[in-house]
A and B are shown apart, each in its own frame.
Chain A
Amino acid sequence: MVDKKVVVYSTPTCPYCKRAKDYLSRKEIPYVDYNVAQDREKAKEMIQKSGQMAVPVITIDNEVVVGFNQTLLDKLLS
């Protein structure tokens, strides 16, 4: 089991966000999901951490992944 803190910053309408979350769920990886369309504080945090404004942003411990990049997620979660 992976013992890493996974956070997803997403919007409800973004298909890549949904795919990323579905992917994590399928791999049974627990994550915290922040809806940055509603949560302005978390939106700011996402922009500050990733240096950009596109969703999804996924943080795995201190690593920041922009977009749904399955290969990179696998690498960071293994």
Chain B
Amino acid sequence: MYELMIIGGGPAGLAASVYAARKRLKTLLVSGDVGGQVNWTLGVENYLGYQFIEGSELIDKFQTQVSQYPIDQKIGEKVSRLEKIKGGFEAVSEAGDRYQSRVVIFATGKRPRRLNVPGEAELTGRGVTYCAICDGPVFSGQRVAVVGGGNSALEAALDMVKIAEHVDLVSLTPLTGDAILIDKLSGANNLSIFTEYQTEKIEGQDFVTGILIRDLKSGEKKRFDVSGIFIEIGLTPNSEAVSGLIELSKLGEVPVSCSCETTMPGLYAAGDVTDIPEKQIVVAAGEGAKAALQAHRYLQRLAT
């Protein structure tokens, strides 16, 4: 049994790994990927020590630093469930592997929120995408839709009007993003904005061919031929694995104390999956460090 298991390999989990290793804790890091949400970030200008660094480069630096230490890593293993066992915890991965530890730091971050409409799941990667900066250029010269009304949706629309034939921006609410982004968009002549419209359905057999939307006020439906649909409606916490152990917040986040404790002794949480107020790389890294130091202290108390 490991002393500490860190679940999640974003900034919080990686910072926790460094701190745990330096406390010589017998540690296992389990994660579906390395870098988490930093993978979707083109450039980072607010992580101390770097005036500008590409997201991918920052992850490489994090990973190199973690790999200097003798901790075990299981990357590509997504934990689907965490259970309480005698003297600790057991994590069960999607592949069915099981890992045990006395203490756990849960740092699984967030993922893009799904619309949950017909056609979405079947056509993900076949025209439906949640990473506009990744896949946007693949749709140059085509007609696309962007779903959402916040900053990420407006940024996606701004990127796409430059290269797409036409962009339909569909938002359930009035646009909520920054005024400066809305201003920038108002100059585009290949953009149609539909606010207070619900996305009803994504159409297509092998690939996306259309989108069906409904006016919330009149109930009138509209259908467009599009080949790409960018869904930018915010994030949702990856907290399902612990939902059986602790009570989650209304938003599905893991409530933590300022010492990263959850309501269950021995289970710590850090970063964007928790209910801490700011979701930033530097904050997540700090929370990860804190969680590891607290976990170490907890293990010391158990030993005495």
A: residues with CB less than 8 A from B are 11-19, 22, 36-37, 43, 47, 51-55, 66, 68-72
Contacts A15-B54, A18-B56, A19-B60 known; A53 to B41 CB distance under 8 Å?
no
Q: Identify B39's interface contact among A16, A53, A72, CB under 8 A.
A: A16
Across chains A and B, the number of contacting residue pairs, with CB separation under 8 Å, is 80
Contact B135 A15 (CB under 8 A): no
Check B140 for interface membership: any CB of A closer than 8 A: yes
* A4 → chain B closest CB, angstroms: 20
Q: Identify B140's interface contact among A15, A37, A71, A72, CB under 8 A.
A: A37
Interfacial chain A residues near B163, Cβ < 8 Å: 37
Contact A71 B75 (CB under 8 A): yes
Q: Identify B207's interface contact among A11, A17, A53, CB under 8 A.
A: A53
Which residue of B has the minimal Cβ distance to A17?
B134
Contacts A11-B134, A54-B131 known; A72 to B76 CB distance under 8 Å?
yes
7 pairs, A vs B, C-beta closer than 8 Å: A13-B42, A14-B134, A15-B134, A47-B207, A52-B126, A69-B76, A71-B75
Q: Identify A55's interface contact among B134, B140, B206, CB under 8 A.
A: B134
> A51 vs B40: C-alpha distance in the bound complex, in angstroms?
23
Interfacial chain A residues near B135, Cβ < 8 Å: 11, 14, 53-55
Contacts A13-B42, A52-B125, A53-B129 known; A18 to B137 CB distance under 8 Å?
no
Q: Identify A19's interface contact among B56, B136, B206, CB under 8 A.
A: B56
Interfacial chain B residues near A66, Cβ < 8 Å: 125
Interface size range of chain B in the complex? 20 to 34
Contact A19 B134 (CB under 8 A): no
B: residues with CB less than 8 A from A are 33-35, 38-42, 54-57, 59-60, 75-76, 125-127, 129, 131, 133-140, 163, 206-207, 228
> A55 vs B228: C-alpha distance in the bound complex, in angstroms?
14
Q: Identify A11's interface contact among B60, B138, B228, CB under 8 A.
A: B138
> A28 vs B163: C-alpha distance in the bound complex, in angstroms?
34
Point out which of A37, A53, A70, A72 has the most chain B C-beta atoms below 10 A from its C-beta. A53
> A17 vs B54: C-alpha distance in the bound complex, in angstroms?
12
* B161 → chain A closest CB, angstroms: 15
Interfacial chain B residues near A36, Cβ < 8 Å: 137-138
Which residue of B has the minimal Cβ distance to A66?
B125
Interfacial chain B residues near A12, Cβ < 8 Å: 137
Interfacial chain B residues near A52, Cβ < 8 Å: 125-126
Contact A13 B136 (CB under 8 A): yes
> A68 vs B137: C-alpha distance in the bound complex, in angstroms?
18
Contact A22 B76 (CB under 8 A): no
